Amino acid sequence: MENNSVYHIPVLFNECIEGLNIKSDGIYVDVTFGGGGHSKAIFNALNNKGKLFAFDQDEAAQRNAWKAPNFQLIAANFGYLKNHLKQYNISAIDGLFADLGVSSYQFDEPNRGFSIRENARLDMRMNQKAKLSAYDVLNHYEEEKLINIFKHYGELSASRAMAATIVSKRAVNPIITTLELMEVLKHFAPKFKDHKFFAQVFQAIRIEVNQELEVLKSMLEQASDLLQPQGRLVVISYHSLEDRLVKNFMKRGSFDGNIKKDFFGNVQKPLNEVTRHPIVPSEKEIELNSRSRSAKLRIAEKI
């Protein structure tokens, strides 16, 4: 299998593979398999003693897998990283890669409801078997909960008024499609910045539907436990909420940015940064793949 650029164009491809510092006989995990582009490069760098485990909860992504004795695709959310690896008697790894967010395929597939450009039923589930959808969030959540979602996940200043408008509208008729949602909220969109506004709205709802930040925190903690000394953690994020969690965890070993010290004043953290500042795509990469524009790559090594 080659890189499936139809499903998803691998972002910061060379920088990620170099950042993993792959040992040919090592054990590696790609928690966001997607089109398999990064995974295939990791796999190709291994010998027959090396192993690659990949995670993806999206059935569409699972179709991109290939068969090999030392490759295993795990059809699951990466929030359960340790439990699934334990089934394969894996308790330590040499590197973990994560390309967070929504794949190009998920954005471009109209019926998934991720894109502001397509009119589709409000869905936004990365796992199509999950019960909670964007429809449920918008039509059944209490007003206060909607306020918190727009405020904290979308960083939207009009979150209170937006939530009130949604509750008022859904009392008359349920909000069923992405276009209906945008119509309900259109007067909150700043002039000439409506695209960014709706991207933030959709981001907020999507994060809630998939519990993305909580799952990310769980994965980072599990990854730091699993990594061997000098093992690498390589993470691409696409918005400030994700990047802040990754940055704080790599820099300080906490998600709130607070430094923990032991009795003797030694900083308690599991990782050291390999790159002090995030790696971002070149102008050429952005030109070839506009969706890479907001990507930030951070790399850390287990102490």
pLDDT in the model for residue 63 = 92
CA separation, residue 188 to residues 99, 114, 121, 158, 241 (Å): 31, 20, 22, 7, 22
pLDDT at 60: 87
For residue 4, what pLDDT is reported? 54
Backbone angles phi, psi at 30, to 5 degrees: -110, 110
Question: Where does 174-211 have alpha helices with state H?
Answer: 178-185, 194-210
pLDDT at residue 2, rounded to an integer = 45
pTM above 0.85, yes or no: yes
Which class does domain 13-104+212-302 fall in? alpha beta
CATH 1.10.150.170 occupies which residues in the chain? 111-210
Q: What is the pLDDT of residue 175?
A: 98
8 Å CB contact between 23 and 120: no
Within its chain, how far is the Cα of 59 from the centroid? 16
Give the Å distances, CA to CA, from 294 to 216, 242, 282, 283.
18, 12, 11, 12
Contact residues for 299 (Cβ-Cβ < 8 A; gap 6+)? 19, 232, 233, 234, 235, 273, 274, 275, 279
**DSSP character for 31?**
S
DSSP symbols for 149-200: IIIIIS--TTHHHHHHHHHHHHHHS---BHHHHHHHHGGGSPTT-HHHHHHH
Look at residues 82, 7, 16 and name the one whose alpha carbon lies nearest to residue 45.
Answer: 16
Walking along the chain (303 residues) 10 residues at a time, the average pLDDT comes out as: 59 98 98 96 98 95 95 96 98 98 85 94 95 98 98 98 98 98 98 96 98 98 98 97 98 94 91 96 96 96 97
Q: Scan for tokens 């589709």, then name that residue.
A: 120
Tell me which architecture the domain covering 111-210 has in CATH.
Orthogonal Bundle (1.10)
For the chain, residues classed under CATH 3.40.50.150 are 13-104+212-302
Phi-psi region of 74 (alpha: psi -120 to 50; beta: other; left: phi over 0): beta
Q: Which residue has the tokens 């695209």?
A: 195
